[in-house]
Amino acid sequence: MPLKLMTSSNASTVQKESVRESTTKTILQAAKVIFSFSSYVDGKLMARSSGFLIDWDEGSKEGTVLTSARIICSKYTALTQWSGTDEYVPDAEIIAHLLDEDETTVPAILFRYDKHINIAVLKVNLDLCAKIPRFSSDINYGQEILVLGRDERLNMTIAHGCVNFMGPTTYERHHYLFTGCEPSIGGMVIDFDGHVLGMANFPGTAYIPSSIVLKCLDMWKKFQCIPRLHIGMKLSPIKFLDPIHVERIFRKCNIDSGLIVKEVSHGSIAEELGVRPGDVVDSVNGECVATTVELENLIMRICENHLDQGGAIGSCMDILVGILHMRKGRKGPRHTLSLRLNVSDDVEVFISDF
């Protein structure tokens, strides 16, 4: 019997089927720890969200769930996240929809939430026959990802996208990355190996990367709050600009990395010290920053060290910000500014001049 050689077409088909089978297994494994939640005020439905287990105690049968703070949000502003006008109801009744044959519902207890990061942790009593997925903080722009959640009928929602090579707009907080697909709020963002890369969140295609999530969980554990500094600037990374723009900035300013100041909050310390739109932030406390997520991680780490050394929420601290001033499209002087900022666990409100 003659030997049949595998053609490139057949090989490609086999490879695709293998990837599909592996991906299906990954999704089905993750699905075991993804739940649907609903919240009520005075018996009326307020919000729905997905959420996923990040810990489970075998003795007490208590599970810890990560979800979006939108589950307790009664009013939110769709136009911008910087207004500080969102309203929350932390004593709302929260129901967890389990995945057993009877689709049992049980109470979920709000354990922690943060309005700025828009993240929440719930406690739920349940039986578990699944492995808790591992987090990965690696960010590879362009990497394919899956966003998994549940709809109101408890069916899985699956969106396929990639880590977009882009930063937040001036309407979005600095701690977000983007998937390019419409996710389920509170859903799990994973790679094809099942590692958790973050949590899907409002708005649109945004998600909170694992590096931010893990730092939040760690600081909740240590301090029962998430301390931040309100820097009073909206920033945009140079690295996400088109190559023509990046090359022009390099020719004129001899820099190809940093954060462009898009807006400065009215009355902020940054404004008082002369920071203006178009300036470039290239370092904080001597560390280079290339993306807003890097900046957020650095700011939280600075605050963590401050509290470790005896500081408290409401106290002030100084940070050194490297600024390249740009005036009328031309390179100006570079200064290291000392910003005395308040350590806060509240939402940052941005005040625009327009």
Of 35-39, 140-144, 253-257, the range with the lowest mean pLDDT is: 253-257
**Residue 144 DSSP SS3:** strand
In the structure, what pLDDT confidence band is assigned to residue 1 with cuts at 50, 70 and 90?
very low
Of 12-16, 86-90, 181-185, 296-300, the range with the lowest mean pLDDT is: 12-16
- Portion of the chain with pLDDT greater than 70, in percent: 93
Respond yes or no on whether the N-terminal peptide bond of residue 90 is cis (omega within 30° of 0).
Answer: no
Of 194-203, 213-222, 223-232, 278-287, the range with the lowest mean pLDDT is: 194-203
The pLDDT of residue 12:
54
Token output for 338: 């000392």
User: In this predicted model, what pLDDT tens digit does every residue of 264-319 receive, in sequence order?
Assistant: 999 999 999 999 999 999 999 999 999 999 999 999 999 999 999 999 999 999 99
Q: Taking the CA of residue 91 as centre, how many other CA atoms within 13 Å lie in the half-sphere pointing to its CB?
A: 1
> Which amino acid belongs to residue 345?
D
Write down the domain spans for the chain. Answer: 32-125, 143-223, 228-344
The pLDDT of residue 9:
55
The pLDDT of residue 202:
76
Q: What is the pTM of this model?
A: 0.92
Strand partners, 287: 284
On the question of a common fold for 143-223 and 228-344, the answer reads no
The pLDDT of residue 153:
93
Contacts of 154 (CB under 8 A, 6+ apart): 36, 97, 99, 103
Fold classification of 32-125 (topology level): Thrombin, subunit H (2.40.10)
At residue 10, does pLDDT exceed 70? no
Token output for 326: 């740009």
The pLDDT of residue 19:
66
- Rounded mean pLDDT of 18-38? 91
Token output for 129: 């026959």
State the architecture of 228-344 in CATH terms.
Roll (2.30)
Contact 73, 220 (CB under 8 A): no
- Portion of the chain with pLDDT greater than 90, in percent: 79
- Rounded mean pLDDT of 82-109? 94
**Measured between alpha carbons, how far is 118 from 186 in angstroms, rounded to an integer?**
10
At residue 182, does pLDDT exceed 90? no
The pLDDT of residue 22:
87
At residue 222, does pLDDT exceed 90? yes
Question: What secondary structure does DSSP assign to 32-84, as a single string?
Answer: TTEEEEEEEETTEEEEEEEEEEEEEETTTTEEEEEEEGGGGEEE--SS-SSS-
Fold classification of 143-223 (topology level): Thrombin, subunit H (2.40.10)
Burial of 75 (0-12, 13-18, 19+ CB in 10 A): exposed
Q: Mean pLDDT in the chain?
A: 91
Contact 120, 112 (CB under 8 A): yes
- Rounded mean pLDDT of 197-225? 94
At residue 79, does pLDDT exceed 80? no
